[in-house]
A and B are shown apart, each in its own frame.
Chain A
Amino acid sequence: MHPAFSVIFLTTLIGAGQGLFLALYTAQVYSTVELLPVPPSHFYVQGSAIALALLIGGLVASFFHLGHPERAWRSAARWRTSWLSREVIVLPALMGAVAVYGVVHHLNLRLKDLGFATSVDGDLALVVGAAAVALAFLLFLCTGMIYACIKFLQEWASWLTVVNYTLFGLASGFLLATAYAAYQAPALVYFFGAWTVIITLAVWVTRAASLIRNRRLKYKSTIQTAIGVRHARIVQKSQGFMGGSFNTRDFFHGAAPWLFRSIKWVFLVLVFPVPLVLLFNGMVDRSVPMLSSAFVIQYLGLLAERWYFFAQANHPQNIYYQTIS
């Protein structure tokens, strides 16, 4: 497939936004049960604002993918059958929930303001946050399933796609949370950092698993099934036109083989070992620049990862578009 930058930015930005929000909420839960020191409330307010900004950035990027962005509202119509439609509903819902979460922290609203008094600090934020957590995971599911549900794009049609989308988003969000905590709430740096390491190692394993799976794929569609002729040697002599078409542009990545192969190594280096080393040093030194550069470098790696994710997928329609002549 041809990697579209709008979709690459959409999926990486919202992934980081979802991950950052989930990191904030995890910290709040831990500090509620007194496993962590309680950070100042502006930590959550500004953190939610950053998460919201990332989600909005992703949404804006997605509009560049559409031929008719002014009609985008229509895409909520088919949520019963379409994962894309579901994503279109869940993303704004999550944005709303994250915004409310931030506002609740900012105004320090409590459940007793709504008439249910509890003894838990930040109870309303916990409730709103729980809803947002559900939406964030639902959004990971929707984003992953958009790709995983197309069964003949065999590189994508696997539960690993959903797992990888989820874990990549969490890794990048927790890494951002680590850098942000080093700046705003140093007591939480090790908490976020440790989770970042765990998640990054986990997604290293699952992404490697999907790379191995894709290398061993056996394609179900062949030129024989495509035209229905049973012969061992069939070659296309003409695709029917001399110039290009949508089918020759949108389904081929068009990169040179060496570039295609090297992008894989670029992301394998930039997403996993480099950020982990920077993260480790950054945690030890409490260095905001070091942790921030870990996040930025991993984000660049994730852009390469997403590019590779698209480029590697082989659409069966490509069988019909092999030869110009």
Chain B
Amino acid sequence: MIQLALVIDLNVCVGCHACVTSCKEWNTSGEAGYMSDDRPYGEDPTGNFFNRVQTFEVGEFPNTETVHFPKSCLHCEDPPCVPVCPTGASYKRPEDGIVLVDYDKCIGCKYCAWACPYGVREIDEHQKVMKKCTLCVDRIYDKSLPQAERKPACVMACPTNARLFGDVHDPDSEVSVAISENGGYALMPEWGTKPANHYLPRRKTRIKIHDDELMRADNPLKKEGVRPKPDVHEPSLDDVTSW
């Protein structure tokens, strides 16, 4: 069974929101669109997004770290949003594990949004149906695109390569290797939703240098050794003084 998913590397994400705008651009003009906005240039703008980048500060000044945190539907393997839907508009595709909403069936009751702990479903205030990330299902199978571009729009846009896309059930896929080698984790594991999307943690690269790696103990010419300090009365810089 295939389970497509995103792996998001928090070590690399710089919080540029390129994935947000790219997602909106692709999807508002694609099959999942449009994604309505209200008062985009007004005082109180609001709109429909599938992906948001949030920022968290970890630690206390001066020892802080800024974590940029992109969040979209995690395409849970046991999605609590699906069984609660009374119409069957919310469903999980058996063939690739993508969780989708059928806009023609959705009655806009918002129950699925209540049943998602991650706050990634957003009702479209104009079309009155529930919307969420589709993993660019209208892109990733598009044979008219070159193979390298059959990826979600956010993955294509990310300038730092913080977003990987692939089958997390295939142990040899790029995403599975990234998860297992870099300590990939799921969000809110306490609810048993088994999110397919994973996050890679912040990682520090450190090397330990020992003293004897800086100073050679067996230095024959003692070039780097501590030199004996000559007495002030001693003659200096002649051939009897050995340094």
Contact residues of A with B, CB < 8 Å?
A: 1, 65-69, 71-72, 74-78, 81-85, 88, 146, 149-153, 220-221, 223, 225-229, 231, 233-247, 250-251, 315-318, 320-321
Q: Which of A65, A82, A237, A317 contacts B118 (CB 8 A)?
A: A317
B238 in contact (CB, < 8 A): no
Q: Which chain B residues border A66 with CB–CB below 8 Å?
A: 107-109
A244 B46 Cβ-Cβ under 8 A: yes
Q: Which of B49, B58, B86, B187 contacts A226 (CB 8 A)?
A: B187
Q: Which of B47, B60, B83, B201 contacts A229 (CB 8 A)?
A: B201
| Shortest Cβ gap from A309 to chain B (Å) | 13
Q: Which chain A residues border B106 with CB–CB below 8 Å?
A: 67-68, 71
Top 3 A-B residue pairs of the complex, sorted by shortest distance between their CB atoms? A67-B108, A317-B119, A67-B128
Measured CA separation A29–B149 after assembly (Å) = 72
Q: Which chain A residues border B45 with CB–CB below 8 Å?
A: 242-243
Q: Which chain B residues border A72 with CB–CB below 8 Å?
A: 107
17 A-B pairs (CB sep. < 8 Å): A66-B109, A67-B127, A75-B87, A75-B109, A78-B86, A81-B83, A82-B111, A152-B80, A225-B187, A236-B55, A240-B71, A241-B52, A243-B39, A245-B49, A316-B117, A317-B116, A318-B119
Q: Which chain B residues border A76 with CB–CB below 8 Å?
A: 86
Apart from A221-B190, A240-B52, list 14 A-B contacts with CB within 8 A: A65-B109, A66-B109, A67-B123, A69-B107, A82-B111, A84-B111, A88-B86, A152-B191, A223-B56, A225-B189, A231-B58, A239-B54, A315-B114, A315-B117
B117 A152 Cβ-Cβ under 8 A: yes
B69 in contact (CB, < 8 A): yes
B129 in contact (CB, < 8 A): yes
Beta-carbon nearest neighbor of A240 in chain B: B52
A317 B129 Cβ-Cβ under 8 A: no
Q: Which of A74, A82, A235, A243 contacts B46 (CB 8 A)?
A: A243
A149 B84 Cβ-Cβ under 8 A: yes
Q: Which chain B residues border A227 with CB–CB below 8 Å?
A: 56, 67, 69, 187, 199
B119 A247 Cβ-Cβ under 8 A: yes
Measured CA separation A93–B49 after assembly (Å) = 39
Q: Which of A68, A235, A247 contacts B128 (CB 8 A)?
A: A68
Measured CA separation A318–B69 after assembly (Å) = 15
Beta-carbon nearest neighbor of A229 in chain B: B58
Q: Which chain B residues border A317 with CB–CB below 8 Å?
A: 116-119
Measured CA separation A74–B106 after assembly (Å) = 8
Tell whether A240 pairs with B60 under 8 Å between CB atoms, given A66-B107, A69-B107. no
Measured CA separation A64–B89 after assembly (Å) = 19
Q: Which chain A residues border B53 with CB–CB below 8 Å?
A: 240
Q: Which of A69, A150, A220, A233 contacts B59 (CB 8 A)?
A: A233
Beta-carbon nearest neighbor of B15 in chain A: A238
Q: Which of B54, B121, B199 contacts A320 (CB 8 A)?
A: B54
Q: How large is the interface on B (under 10, 10 to 19, 20 to 34, 35 or more residues)?
A: 35 or more
A233 B49 Cβ-Cβ under 8 A: no
Tell whether A243 pairs with B47 under 8 Å between CB atoms, given A81-B83, A227-B187, A236-B55. yes
Beta-carbon nearest neighbor of B103 in chain A: A68
A234 B56 Cβ-Cβ under 8 A: yes
A233 B60 Cβ-Cβ under 8 A: yes
B153 in contact (CB, < 8 A): no
B26 in contact (CB, < 8 A): no
Q: Which chain B residues border A223 with CB–CB below 8 Å?
A: 56
Q: Which chain B residues border A233 with CB–CB below 8 Å?
A: 58-60
Q: Which of B17, B113, B199 contacts A246 (CB 8 A)?
A: B113
B122 in contact (CB, < 8 A): yes
Q: Which chain B residues border A81 with CB–CB below 8 Å?
A: 82-84
| Shortest Cβ gap from A55 to chain B (Å) | 19
B185 in contact (CB, < 8 A): yes
Q: Which chain A residues border B186 with CB–CB below 8 Å?
A: 228
Tell whether A151 pairs with B191 under 8 Å between CB atoms, given A82-B85, A245-B49, A245-B122. yes
| Shortest Cβ gap from A129 to chain B (Å) | 28
Beta-carbon nearest neighbor of B108 in chain A: A67
Q: Which of B44, B56, B69, B111 contacts A244 (CB 8 A)?
A: B44
Q: Which chain B residues border A1 with CB–CB below 8 Å?
A: 114
Q: Which chain A residues border B67 with CB–CB below 8 Å?
A: 227, 229
Measured CA separation A67–B131 after assembly (Å) = 13
Q: Which chain A residues border B55 with CB–CB below 8 Å?
A: 236-238, 240
Q: Which chain B residues border A320 with CB–CB below 8 Å?
A: 54, 71, 118-119
Measured CA separation A72–B115 after assembly (Å) = 19
| Shortest Cβ gap from A199 to chain B (Å) | 29
Q: Which chain B residues border A235 with CB–CB below 8 Å?
A: 56-57
B201 A240 Cβ-Cβ under 8 A: no
Interface string of B33-65 (1 = CB under 8 A from A): 000000100001111110011111111100000
